[in-house]
Amino acid sequence: MPPAVVECVPNFSEGRNAQTVDALAAAVASAPGVALLDRTMDPDHNRSVLTFAGAPGEVLEAALRAVERAIALIDLTRHSGVHPRIGAADVVPFVPVRGVTLAECAHVAETFGHALWARCRLPVYLYEASARRPERRRLENIRHGGFEALRDAVTDKADRRPDIGGPELHPTAGATVTGGRKFLIAYNLNLTTSDVAIAKQVARAIRASSGGLPFVKAMGVPLASRGLAQVTMNLTDFETTPVACVFEAVKRESARLGAGIAGGELIGLIPKAALDERAEWFRTLENFHAGCVLETRLDRALAPRGTAA
């Protein structure tokens, strides 16, 4: 039986200070047996994403070390960006890769949550496969209103209090959301316009919560650094709703509103099964290289020393 491999993809509320992101990556790398596979940071979103993998217990320890570092370095009271957030370490998902089930990842996430509260006094919300309440399966329901609104709501609204720890949020680091989940593709499309209202209309038309495409989360945001509007998306089940389907929907809705596609980008890694190098969406990617493929990066990182991946 192959050794169990879990992927963890924490999102941190810092995308402008490279030294802070370096420190978070170093915290992950300090955990024995864990392979740091990828890192991205975005100044407009003011957000960074690390991807690492290994055995469940080793990945859990790496995540604890990274979040502990984030608490020390990131102050949400001084943070701003176009991406919603409730925590310095905003969301820390655990994803089954090999030899492990989604249910087992859900258990890893809950164990991580209890350890995080005990070790750092950071309250935790459980989502996706780890959710204790049906309404908390969806991340956007937990994150509604962001850090500032949640900080005020937890004092008098029982339905907004954390699942682990609390009830108050950490004064500068907020709270963390964690859970076991399936592979998620973080995919953004930049439009040939700076009008964020168009991007918001497109996002509303395509996202599942507005009656659009199943398993698609989307919002429209400005990219001040490029003078463009962006449709930023999470595709939570690419087998049901392929990337090509999402691309065509954004292209169609944008054209209807007088805009086109300027380019696309992936945040983090993408499973090999989701790729189609002949498709238009793939040809518009601005940041794709072989190392963007999860399996390629995993094979390289986890290959025994002295052997070719």
Whether the upstream peptide bond of residue 167 has omega within 30° of 0, thus cis, is yes
In one letter, which amino acid is 242?
P
CB-side neighbour CA atoms (13 Å) of 293 = 13
What tokens appear for 209 in the block?
A: 């919560």
Residue 83 annotated to the active site: yes
Residue 149 gets which letter from DSSP? H
| Residues 14 and 78: beta-carbon distance below 8 Å | no
CA angle, 159 then 47 then 101, to 5°: 65
d(CA 227, CA 218): 20
Q: What are phi and psi of 212, to 5 degrees?
A: -90, -130
Catalytic one of 45, 79, 83, 170: 83
Residues annotated catalytic, as ranges:
83
